[in-house]
Amino acid sequence: MQKLLNKFVTLPVRDHLVSLVRYPDFRYIWLTGIFSFGGMWIFTVTATWIAVEESGSSRWPGIIAFSSLLPFLLFSALGGFFADRYNRKNVVLVTSIGNTILAVLIAVGAATESLDLWHLAVGAFLAGGLRAVMEPAIQALIPNQVDKKHMLNAITLNALTHHGSRFFGLLIASPLLASGVAISISGFTIVPGGVKTVLILSAVFTAISALSAMFCNTVSYGKITSKIQKSYITKEAKRSLFGINSRVMDILSGINYVVSGMTEGFKYIYTHKIISIFIILVAFHCALVMSFESIMPIFSRETLNATDGSILGYLVMAFGAGSIIGVLLVAGLTSEKHKGWVLLWSGIGSGITPILMALMQDPGLAMVFAGLMGATQASFMAITNVYVLTVCPDRLRGRVSSLYVLHAGGIMAFANLGYGFLADLFNASVIFIITGVIFVVFLMAISTSLPKLRTIYRTGETTV
């Protein structure tokens, strides 16, 4: 019996989680991510449900989703610069502490019943800004924490923190969102239900993420090109020579230094054919099939007849559960050829599964297809991220990671805003179906027109 357990349970689990088992610093950063994003999803689901309940439409959920994702467009490139300029662990720690303070303020506002919808939108924007700066630093840290042979495993496990955290966060939050539900022991209420308690739970998750970041000891810096450094140093020398110490000149030179570093990252991704292909795939994937935060609340209320936020929470939790399965399957890949197959079929599945979910009117069946959505979409994002991070050099990894996040999060911001307004004109199910069909057609078209992409599907290799 013990041999069977080792063969079919212990060893496969160990292989899939090898980076978490073998590398303590990666484990701390992974826990930082899982609790940070878990807190984010608890807040997002709660805030969008409050918005749809108070406003009676999907516009305010769209505005809140837009506010949370817009910072990834505005600040990701700056976060990438920080990740290549400063100790990446410190960037993660500072942003985690900032998010904890913000989550506590929101929880206090909820407890004192002083929160308006615009407060939630502003809070979502500030939290998104901190995560937009944190994310490139986390992604750039990982290759410095694990051996090269475990790079695929570590990067895909990190992807689990983005999507799988929906499961861990909503596993606790969803029951508490149900009307009249609380955690009790022998009839004594330990944790009362309701949105106030759930927002406090979000603050607890973000606090744990900051605590975990403190235990990481990895020291990791990128590198800004010598040309940019030389230009900056020359200007500093000239300023000293002529005695020009104007504050304005200092600010302008600093801005030029930052912009030059970010421009180098933009130039690299748009001139590197392989990376540019993956950036395009991710952009369309996020715009068409992953921007559902703004319409999922109205879908759960109108199509699935939800009377409280628990059904919405369970849908998001199901998506997270599927994400965990999908990401763990990717993490266990050892063959390059299998990576190419996963890229193709997870892309196709990403378009088909939202269509199937939208056709369901039973909450249980909708959750099944939400889980399949999570499995395919998380796998697609994980495998594209693996290709991007393994192709680019370490000195640019922070900025390239940030631009990957910029294209994903920035596009999702505007897509969520648009879908939120469209859902008031059309049924949310119609939006899921149309966008799913468009993505599948796009994927087939770009795969047909790019021989390099077909080669990757067939061999998994980016260098052939």
Query: Given 3-state DSSP classes, what are the helix, strand and coil percentages for the chain, each rounded to the nearest 5?
Result: 80, 0, 15
What pLDDT score does 17 carry? Answer: 77
Beta bridge partners of 191: 183
What pLDDT score does 186 carry? Answer: 46
Is the pLDDT confidence value at 239 over 70? no
**What would the pLDDT profile of 352-363 be if each residue is shown by its tens digit?**
999 999 999 999
CA dihedral 13, 41, 382, 410 (to 10 degrees): -170
For 97, 107, 176, 239, 313, the CA distances from 204, given in Å and listed in that order, are 12, 10, 15, 48, 18
Query: Could you give the number of structural domains in the chain?
Result: 1
> How would DSSP label each residue in 337-367?
HHHHHHHHHHHHHHHHHHHHHHT--SHHHHH
Looking at mean pLDDT, say which of 345-354, 392-401, 420-429 comes out highest.
Answer: 345-354
Lowest average pLDDT, out of 41-50, 77-86, 274-283, 310-319, goes to 77-86
231: tokens are 């230009």
Beta bridge partners of 185: 188
User: Is 237 a member of any domain?
Assistant: no
pTM: 0.76
Is the pLDDT confidence value at 210 over 90? yes
How buried is 165 (Cβ within 10 angstroms: 0-12 exposed, 13-18 middle, 19+ buried)? buried
Residue with tokens 């939050």: 173
How buried is 180 (Cβ within 10 angstroms: 0-12 exposed, 13-18 middle, 19+ buried)? exposed
Alpha carbon distance 202, 35 (integer Å): 9
Alpha carbon distance 197, 181 (integer Å): 11
**Whole-number percent of the chain with pLDDT over 90:** 30
Is the pLDDT confidence value at 87 over 80? yes
CA 436 to chain CA centroid, nearest Å: 20
User: Is 241 a member of any domain?
Assistant: no
Is the pLDDT confidence value at 11 over 80? no
User: Is 366 a member of any domain?
Assistant: yes
User: Is 353 a member of any domain?
Assistant: yes
Alpha carbon distance 143, 392 (integer Å): 11
> For the residues 111-134, what does the mean pLDDT come to?
89
- DSSP state letter for 460: -
> For the residues 422-440, what does the mean pLDDT come to?
92
User: Is 228 a member of any domain?
Assistant: no
The contacts of residue 259 (CB under 8 Å, 6+ apart) are none
- The enclosing domain of 361 has a CATH number of 1.20.1250.20
Alpha carbon distance 461, 447 (integer Å): 15
238: tokens are 């000239």
> For the residues 414-433, what does the mean pLDDT come to?
90
Mean pLDDT, the chain, as a whole number? 81
> How would DSSP label each residue in 3-63?
HHHIIIIIHHHHHHTHHHHH-HHHHHHHHHHHHHHHHHHHHHHHHHHHHHHHHSSSHHHHH
How would you write 146-177 as a 3-class SS string?
CCHHHHHHHHHHHHHHHHCHHHHHHHHHHHHH
For residue 262, give the 3-state DSSP assignment: helix
User: Is 296 a member of any domain?
Assistant: yes
User: Is 307 a member of any domain?
Assistant: yes
H-only helix segments in 272-309? 273-288, 296-302
CA 259 to chain CA centroid, nearest Å: 25
Is the pLDDT confidence value at 183 over 80? no
The contacts of residue 154 (CB under 8 Å, 6+ apart) are 19, 23, 26, 142, 143, 145, 146
What pLDDT score does 370 carry? Answer: 95
User: Is 351 a member of any domain?
Assistant: yes
Is the pLDDT confidence value at 349 over 50? yes
* Number of Cα atoms under 13 Å in the Cβ half of residue 50: 23
> For the residues 369-396, what does the mean pLDDT come to?
87
CA 204 to chain CA centroid, nearest Å: 19
> Looking at per-residue confidence, does 213 or 161 come out higher?
213
Is the pLDDT confidence value at 395 over 80? no
Is the pLDDT confidence value at 344 over 70? yes
**What would the pLDDT profile of 31-81 be if each residue is shown by its tens digit?**
999 999 999 989 988 898 888 888 888 889 999 989 988 888 888 778 877
Range of the domain at 186: 22-215+264-459
Alpha carbon distance 212, 134 (integer Å): 14
247: tokens are 């504050």
Alpha carbon distance 384, 370 (integer Å): 21
Lowest average pLDDT, out of 284-288, 394-398, 405-409, goes to 394-398
**Pair 433, 355: CB distance under 8 Å:** yes
> For the residues 119-148, what does the mean pLDDT come to?
87
